Structure 1
Amino acid sequence: MSSENGRPGEPAGEQAEQLAFIRETVRKAKVPRAKPRTWRGAELAKELPVARVLVDKGPVHLDRLWDYAVPAELDADARPGTRVRVRFGAGARNVRGGRREGGGLLDGYIVDRVAESDYQGPLAAIAQVLSPEPVLGPALLQLCRSVADRYAGSLADVLQLAVPPRHARIEAEASPEPVPPPARPEPGSWSRYPTGPAFLDAVARGDAPRAVWTALPGPHWPEELARAAAAALASRRGALIVVPDGRAAARVDATLTELLGAGRHVLLTADTGPEERYRRWLAVSRGAVRAVVGTRAAMFAPVRDLGLAAIWDDGDSSHSEQHAPQPHAREVLQLRAAHEKAAFLLGGFGCTVEAAQLVDTGWALPLTAPRDRVRATAPLIRTVGDADQARDEAARAARLPTLAWQAAREGLKHGPVLVQVPRRGYVPRLACERCREPARCAHCAGPLEARGDDGALHCTWCGQEARDWHCGECGGFRLRAQIVGARRTAEELGRAFPTVPVRTSGRDHVLDSVPDRPAIVVSTPGAEPVAEGGYAAALLLDGWALLGRPDLRAGEEALRRWLGAAALVRGQDAGGTVVVVAEPTLRPVQALVRWDPAGHAVRELADRAELGFPPVSRMAAVAGPPAAVAELIAAAQLPDGTEVLGPVPLPVTAPGRPRRAGDPPPGESWERALLRVRPGQGAALAAALKTAQAARLTRRDGEPVRLRIDPPDIG
């Protein structure tokens, strides 16, 4: 029987209506769908035949999990954490209800295996298990998810930073056998700090103390980090130490080997090469090695049962990742310490404002030496200000004050002398000519700059013009910008001391160490080599080149650079002297003279709290073509009270010149806006921007916009 309105062979009339009603009722009923047992004739896994896969595709709008069927022949190898290859777009389904996306074969990670999918259509099957090695464990996945959320990025982008590329030959090799935990270490030089031995004891017991450690000057900090790691290993837990560069990593690596012997830790730096790095990373992932020392990328190292997360010199810009979503190693290690209930140690000769905030909020406790110990260990600090140089004939002729010449001449009688010269390229900020207070915007307190042919003052944050500027401290109306010089420092010193060898250390060639004999070592900040036995003296030249940068962290960074160089000089008891050429009344200079980085950071934190600067507030930078920046900000559901500063134009990158992270493409005109929120609203700000960015990418509307949470440079 058939009907014109029905299907062939179906009854018509009243029977047809009844049949249609039954079909509709069945369709609406919430009856569980049968588990998929076959896919295009292939048998599927009997247990947990559905895999939830994170596809290695970076855009934020694809930051979700997709369901795939698991063929029976791949059942044993397709475990959570393994790398797979899937056909993206052929039945892949987002577990949160997203739409399909076209693609082809893409790499991914299995996050979970489940009994069934709530997707109503057919599932594509996993095409290939690239490796049965589970490289994405639950702890690493949780950490990467937290980092992606905090920095408004995608989980796939974070995983590209956390998991190194695969090398099949390395996976076939057997990892070394785990070694038994070492004995609890002796305090050693930690005894110089009143609470140092107690910190080590707490770590060795399996507790999770958190400390901000202001290290004493001298060569002992690698040994102290090594002993802290040994304490974590003694508690049958793991240790992770992140340092800013390969030279520092090599020093800690050598000290750990000397203290614990070979085979108890690995060194993870870019210098080891991709294959060797993956071999060491696998040894950590498999639990054969429980301690890691490395540079920035090591912050994600999958250390089993993490007991200590330590970072040295967190103010160094090397700790800030340049690839999306640009996390900072300090913040990642804080997340790890909280998630994995591990001890946390933030150390350095200086102290960042973020470190001071950790102490101020009670999240961490200070670990410092008494003042008499600091005075005995630190070198003598002497200053030369502008007034001194104006009266100094030698300073006007050769740009080196008489006091600096005398210190160098005396130091060369006893050993090498370090001369720190700021590298070229520092752009000075404007400051009051009378009191040197930085020139700031009356609206948002951002730094001012001179633009255009008429030199009109504009804020680099909100873009407003500053008319009738005057100094809020002294009432002065005149500005100054220090000119960066010192290009001929090495030649001048070579002529002044013709019998003494002059060595240089900088971007093109960095020295690791120099012998304990008379020599002049001219170095840019951060490239200072270690002198055997310490330097007899140090000259810190052109201080205004560091202090005059148009950056919120100019004073903090100048002090950090000075402390790093001065810490290489012998103590005052051994005759060590440091001469700094900078205005003595300025806060960073006074902190150097007193060797009080923590006090300087506390005062900086109070100033930022008063002005609403990070880290007391949270900020996000939105950069891109003007129309795209405006569209994203308008579409984002920003937290209540969000303050939008700007937008302001970004400098145009000339064709052929190197680009930094966040710079516009060559020849394009971009703008940047800063979004500022109150404390506690940082997560809501990141989520709002990430959602708005995902919506734009899904619709493929407009040009791309770059987001950065907590930008390090907002000057």
Structure 2
Amino acid sequence: MQQDGLFGLPEPAPAPAAGAGSDTGARPGGRGRLRTTSGFELAESLPVASVQLIGVLPHLDRPFEYAVPASLADAGPGMRVKVRFSGREHDGIVLARTDAPTTDRPLAPLLRLVSDDQVISPAMLRVCRDVADRCGGTVGDVLRLALPPRHARAEKADRAAAEAEAEAATVESEAEASADSKAGAEAGEAGAGEAAAEAAAPALLEHYAGLTALLARAGSPEGPVPRAAIVLEPAHSWNEVCAEAIAALPAGCGALVIAPDLRDVQRLSRVLDAHGIAHEVLSSADGPEKRYRAFRRILRGASRVVIGNRSAAFAPVQDLALAICIDPADDLLVEPRAPYPHLRTILQCRSAEERCALLLLSHSLGVEVDALAQSGYLHLLPPQAAPLAAVRPRIVAMDEYLREREGPSGRSRIPREAMRVIRQGIARGPVLVQVPRSGYVPAVACTFCGTRCICPQCSAPLSLHGRSGVLQCTVCGRREDAYRCPECSRSQVRALVIGSTRTAEELRRAFPAAPFRVAGGAQGGVEDDDIPDGAIVVATPGAEPAPDGGYAAALLLDADAMLARAAFDADVEAVRRWSNAIALVRPAEAGGEVLIVGTSTLPAIRDLVAHRSRAFLDRVQEDRRALDLPPASRVAEIAGDRTAVRDFLDRVELPDGAQVFGPIELDPAEGRERARSVVRLPLARGRELADALRAGVSLRSAHKAAGSLRVRLDPPDVF
């Protein structure tokens, strides 16, 4: 079976058949002799296959040539095969079939054709290469992320389902052809329905200037690829925007929507069902069989609308016209496996290779997305002017006036004003109380000197797990009944952070008649439909359930503690989490109210009160540029054994001007020689840094250097 050069390689001329251990002589154009190992018969045409191996060592990340036996003559580009490499079986992808090799060495045969499905297209392979180049990784590692393991039973069941669908489509077409009048009447009804749908224009799409134009150009083969970001109004759900955007696409166009976690995917799936949009859910939580069946349905074009979490980023959607990323600043969208790409990077590569429109949706503008907009890569689509009471709740911060008016209670953790918000809120519906941490009292410190209490055995933080007041280690479980501060030898401690369990206990005493729900941490999640009217929901950021109709009020506690998190992006991340919680509250015209308990003069808190102000974000961008922090620079983290990190830095040839920080030792209490180093380079030379690190990792792999090492580009927790 003759195959063309699907992956950009020139199509060779057919070659005569060759037997076992044959030598067909030199080929035109300086190609090598076709020599093979013995014991098999070659395919009659194009007997050489170029194969990209999956999961091999970094210095072997390149195509290898194999002979094609006659029994595997159907193996074509994009198909998955088994080959022998270095004495072991490996998975590989056939890149091309040629008539002659580029080497004089004997070629080993392909061992087995895993499946006759073309599991990866030429465009998707280019996406994988682009992702590997951007992240300083290998194509084999990216292919391992892109292709789910084959499941034979799922493949067999899907083939049967495809045949049944084809037969049903044939019967349906014959029935329509034999009933022209009925088909005409149905067409008239359908036309009337389309006219009615067109008359009822989607309000959310028209609320954001330029969104309708972006969707009209989605999938167009000509002109620039449309890319945009939208900061949604709190009253607008990103699920509804996604549903209306997908419904507005031309017929036959594919769409891909990525949400941070499975709960968001399930919410989006329910909204799409309500809009009558057929879709496929591709999630890492599914078992191997279910996931592979979904992958095959997408691969053969049975499902053109795909939603999922980060595992769906490489979904082979046919005729992909629109890719949507929900809340792109969420750290759940960072792949924890090598080469650690961010989902935003994957979608950017797909947008470039497949010419699909890119849309980023969020409730707060992230620093990275704002940098892309300032560079001209995408456009920020502003909303149309609307009354604030119709698009957002009433947002108030505990300023000095409110605190002084209350007196001493105004300085407490839950002031009287917060109690008023809860009391009035539960009379209208559920109330959300957001706290930064789960548990009871997850962090304590010495009352006298402020030294944080740590376990003398494993150096992990000590915490209070109940009202008994007993300190217990969060790692090894050691109880400290007679704790003494190692600095001042005093035994009295105070709480640094109050957790969700303790907060719920305090509020339950104040509102004994109200039903309570605690979400996040050890308590797990709470279903959206398990929130009765008048309930008080205490949740950690990201674990908030979303009841129908929204919350009547929200209380954001310990805002200063969230801003004091030990990270360079603590303020931006706090605004993102607060904004997502505010989006769950009803608009002000429906009685929605939000109270932020913190220092009201802090820029991050003032940004929540001010509507669509750029003062906070502009200040953050200016500080990042002044301090040369991402996204103003490209940063890499090298972590692992101390000797391995030092050896890597000695071997790698970094670009001129690269700044190297460290290496420094990490976790000395664990007894292992762990170290970490950070390399920084200006953003314009980021590709040079990725190339240098990839070359260094390949060199280390080729020399079989000892010790463990991990190299990540632009990790979210680097500073």
- Taking structure 1 as the reference length, the TM-score comes to 0.80
8 Å CA contact 2:219–2:253 kept in 1: the answer is no
Give the Cα separation in 1 of the matches to 2:717 and 2:117: 40
The correspondence for 1:637, drawn from 618, 637, 653, is 653
The correspondence for 2:333, drawn from 319, 340, 363, is 319
Give the Cα separation in 1 of the matches to 2:539 and 2:137: 37
Shift of 1:240: 0.6
Shift of 1:693: 1.3
- 1:300 alignment partner, SS class: coil
**Match in the other structure for 1:216:** 233
Provide, for residues 48-90 of structure 1, a one-character-per-residue CA deviation record: whole Å limited to 9, x for no partner. Answer: 11111122234211211111100011101x11122211111xx
Q: Do structure 1's residue 600 and structure 2's residue 613 form an aligned pair?
A: no
Provide, for residues 276-330 of structure 1, a one-character-per-residue CA deviation record: whole Å limited to 9, x for no partner. Answer: 1111111111222211110011111111221111100011111011111111111
The correspondence for 1:532, drawn from 548, 569, 584, is 548
Q: Do structure 1's residue 201 and structure 2's residue 209 form an aligned pair?
A: no
8 Å CA contact 1:85–1:105 kept in 2: the answer is yes
**Match in the other structure for 2:185:** none
* Cα distance change on mapping 1:612 and 1:47 into 2, 3 Å: same
**Match in the other structure for 2:694:** 690
Q: Which AA in structure 1 matches 2:667? A: P
The correspondence for 1:189, drawn from 195, 204, 207, is 204
Q: Do structure 1's residue 485 and structure 2's residue 492 form an aligned pair?
A: no
The correspondence for 1:244, drawn from 241, 257, 260, is 260
Q: Which AA in structure 2 matches 1:218? A: A
8 Å CA contact 2:442–2:498 kept in 1: the answer is no
* Cα distance change on mapping 1:73 and 1:547 into 2, 3 Å: same
Give the Cα separation in 2 of the matches to 1:31 and 1:190: 59
Provide, for residues 91-123 of structure 1, a one-character-per-residue CA deviation record: whole Å limited to 9, x for no partner. Answer: xxxxxxxxxxx3322222212212211211211
Give the Cα separation in 1 of the matches to 2:669 and 2:548: 43
Give the Cα separation in 2 of the matches to 1:649 and 1:503: 42
8 Å CA contact 2:205–2:245 kept in 1: the answer is no
* Cα distance change on mapping 1:516 and 1:574 into 2, 3 Å: farther
**Match in the other structure for 1:72:** 70
8 Å CA contact 1:652–1:669 kept in 2: the answer is yes
Q: Do structure 1's residue 164 and structure 2's residue 145 form an aligned pair?
A: no
The correspondence for 2:82, drawn from 81, 85, 93, is 85
Give the Cα separation in 2 of the matches to 1:713 and 1:416: 35
**Match in the other structure for 2:579:** 563
Deviates more, 1:183-192 or 1:157-166: 183-192
**Match in the other structure for 2:113:** 129
Give the Cα separation in 2 of the matches to 1:540 and 1:684: 43
Shift of 1:396: 6.0
* Cα distance change on mapping 1:583 and 1:329 into 2, 3 Å: same
8 Å CA contact 1:229–1:240 kept in 2: the answer is no
- 1:307 alignment partner, SS class: strand
Q: Which AA in structure 2 matches 1:593? A: V
Shift of 1:154: 1.6
Provide, for residues 446-503 of structure 1, a one-character-per-residue CA deviation record: whole Å limited to 9, x for no partner. Answer: xxx999x9xxxxxxxxxxxxxxxxxxxxxxxxxxx99322451000100000111111
The correspondence for 2:243, drawn from 212, 226, 232, is 226
8 Å CA contact 1:628–1:705 kept in 2: the answer is yes
Q: Do structure 1's residue 699 and structure 2's residue 703 form an aligned pair?
A: yes
Q: Do structure 1's residue 618 and structure 2's residue 634 form an aligned pair?
A: yes
**Match in the other structure for 1:431:** none
8 Å CA contact 1:482–1:545 kept in 2: the answer is no
* Cα distance change on mapping 1:41 and 1:424 into 2, 3 Å: closer
The correspondence for 1:296, drawn from 300, 310, 317, is 310
The correspondence for 1:670, drawn from 668, 674, 695, is 674
**Match in the other structure for 1:550:** 566
- 1:676 alignment partner, SS class: strand
Give the Cα separation in 2 of the matches to 1:332 and 1:523: 31
Give the Cα separation in 1 of the matches to 2:53 and 2:669: 34
Alignment of 1:251-262 (within 5 A): 251-261=267-277
Query: What percentage of residue pairs aligned between the two structures are identical?
Result: 39
The correspondence for 2:98, drawn from 110, 114, 120, is 114
**Match in the other structure for 2:461:** none
- 2:427 alignment partner, SS class: coil
8 Å CA contact 2:259–2:308 kept in 1: the answer is yes
**Match in the other structure for 1:142:** 126
The correspondence for 2:663, drawn from 647, 653, 658, is 647
- 2:306 alignment partner, SS class: strand
**Match in the other structure for 2:373:** 359
Shift of 1:371: 5.1
Give the Cα separation in 2 of the matches to 1:130 and 1:123: 20
Q: Which AA in structure 2 matches 1:223? A: E
- 1:362 alignment partner, SS class: coil
Shift of 1:214: 0.6
Q: Do structure 1's residue 575 and structure 2's residue 584 form an aligned pair?
A: no
- 2:360 alignment partner, SS class: strand
* Cα distance change on mapping 1:197 and 1:482 into 2, 3 Å: farther
**Match in the other structure for 2:351:** 337
- 1:419 alignment partner, SS class: strand
* Cα distance change on mapping 1:108 and 1:547 into 2, 3 Å: same
Query: Which stretches in structure 2 are left out of the alignment for 5+ residues?
Result: 1-24, 174-189, 444-451, 457-493
Shift of 1:41: 4.5
* Cα distance change on mapping 1:204 and 1:40 into 2, 3 Å: closer
The correspondence for 1:419, drawn from 416, 433, 436, is 433
Deviates more, 1:48-57 or 1:237-246: 48-57
* Cα distance change on mapping 1:510 and 1:135 into 2, 3 Å: same
Shift of 1:375: 5.0
Give the Cα separation in 2 of the matches to 1:330 and 1:427: 33
Q: Which AA in structure 1 matches 2:68? A: V
* Cα distance change on mapping 1:599 and 1:125 into 2, 3 Å: farther
- 1:530 alignment partner, SS class: coil
Shift of 1:650: 1.9
Deviates more, 1:413-422 or 1:235-244: 235-244
Shift of 1:411: 0.8
Q: Which AA in structure 2 matches 1:81? A: G
Give the Cα separation in 1 of the matches to 2:705 and 2:240: 55
**Match in the other structure for 1:465:** none
Give the Cα separation in 2 of the matches to 1:690 and 1:244: 28
8 Å CA contact 1:230–1:260 kept in 2: the answer is no
Q: Do structure 1's residue 269 and structure 2's residue 253 form an aligned pair?
A: no
Give the Cα separation in 1 of the matches to 2:453 and 2:508: 38
* Cα distance change on mapping 1:518 and 1:573 into 2, 3 Å: same
Give the Cα separation in 2 of the matches to 1:582 and 1:589: 8
- 1:620 alignment partner, SS class: strand
Q: Which AA in structure 2 matches 1:46? A: E
8 Å CA contact 1:416–1:535 kept in 2: the answer is yes
- Taking structure 2 as the reference length, the TM-score comes to 0.79
Give the Cα separation in 2 of the matches to 1:482 and 1:709: 37
- 2:65 alignment partner, SS class: strand
Give the Cα separation in 2 of the matches to 1:230 and 1:347: 17
8 Å CA contact 2:638–2:677 kept in 1: the answer is yes
